[in-house]
């Protein structure tokens, strides 16, 4: 097992490279009452910079939207949304999603069962050796993340 000092040293090293974008707690949505997980595909009718900026701003204002991805393909955006139940999502759909700037259509899909949920530590662990000096510590970091802390906390990291 890795010591807390080694973990702290690794975090300090990653911070020195500006590789840590956030530290986050990963909460169990079911224990908080959120029984519905929705993946909503949105198509946009207006693609000018102002509309897209307004859309991005509005998405940030709603805590029910836990993730938003700009996509390639038939829909421009994929939103991950949590809701207490179907009625709660339907109200959110009518009150918020249909009124986001430029939204032309919404296609909702409901998760039946989560097989894996994780907050991207693979980006941190699997970083190519040329991206971070002293990358030999990656295995130590992987071991640190695999301790029981991962039930309560994850350390998402994006290096782009």
Which CATH number do you get for residue 87? 3.30.70.920
Indicate the helix (H) or strand (E) that contains 25: strand 24-25
Lowest pLDDT segment from 14-23, 99-108, 112-121, 148-157: 148-157
Host domain of residue 135: 4-26+117-154
More confident site: 25 or 112: 112
Distance CA 67, CA 80 (A): 5
Q: Burial level of 92, CB count in 10 A (0-12/13-18/19+)? A: buried
pLDDT tens for each residue of 121-131: 544 443 433 44
| Beta strands 36-44 and 65-70, pairing class | unpaired
- pLDDT(89) > 80: yes
Residue 160 lies in a domain: no
Per-residue confidence (pLDDT) for residue 102, from 0 to 100: 95
Q: Are residues 83 and 143 in the same domain?
A: no
pLDDT of residue 120: 58
Instruction: Determine the Cα–Cα distance for residues 47 and 74; give it in Å rounded to an integer.
Output: 14
Query: Do residues 102 and 128 both lie within one domain?
Result: no
């Amino acid at each position: 097992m890795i010591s807390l000092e080694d973990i702290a040293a690794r975090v300090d090293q990653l911070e020195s490279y500006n590789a840590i974008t956030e530290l986050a707690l990963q909460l169990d949505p079911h224990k908080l009452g959120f029984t519905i997980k929705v993946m909503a595909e949105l198509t946009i009718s207006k693609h000018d910079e102002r509309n897209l900026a307004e859309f991005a701003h509005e998405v940030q204002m709603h805590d029910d939207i836990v993730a938003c991805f700009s996509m390639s393909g038939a829909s421009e955006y994929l939103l991950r949304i949590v809701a207490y139940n179907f009625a709660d999502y339907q109200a959110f759909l009518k009150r918020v999603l249909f009124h986001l700037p430029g939204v032309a259509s919404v296609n909702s899909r409901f998760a039946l069962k989560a097989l894996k949920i994780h907050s991207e530590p693979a980006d941190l662990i699997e970083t190519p050796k040329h991206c971070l000096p002293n990358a030999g510590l990656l295995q130590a970091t992987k071991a640190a993340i695999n301790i029981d802390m991962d039930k309560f906390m994850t350390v998402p990291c994006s290096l782009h």
